[in-house]
Amino acid sequence: MADGTEYDLPPIQILAGGVATVNVNDALTNIPPSLAAHGSQFGSAAIQFTGIPSPPSELKPSLVT
């Protein structure tokens, strides 16, 4: 959200060697009404993960706009 309000998308699990695609626009269609007022065409995104890939250099997140 442009004002810094955080909204966590549902978690996904990616197995070793796997690839996942998350459509943020689709995910934001389910935003709770209490957060809708914080919406904007601008903001930021973060990727959170648990576990350490082996080797760590295999983690290569990307953002496509």
DSSP calls for 31-52:
--HHHHTT--S---------S-
Q: Model confidence over 5-57: pLDDT tens digits?
A: 888 888 888 877 788 888 888 888 888 888 888 877 777 777 777 776 566 55
Is the per-residue pLDDT at 1 higher than 60?
Answer: yes
Write down the pLDDT at residue 49: 74
Question: Cα separation of 63 and 45, whole Å?
Answer: 9
User: pTM of the entire structure?
Assistant: 0.57
Query: What's the confidence (pLDDT) of residue 52?
Result: 66
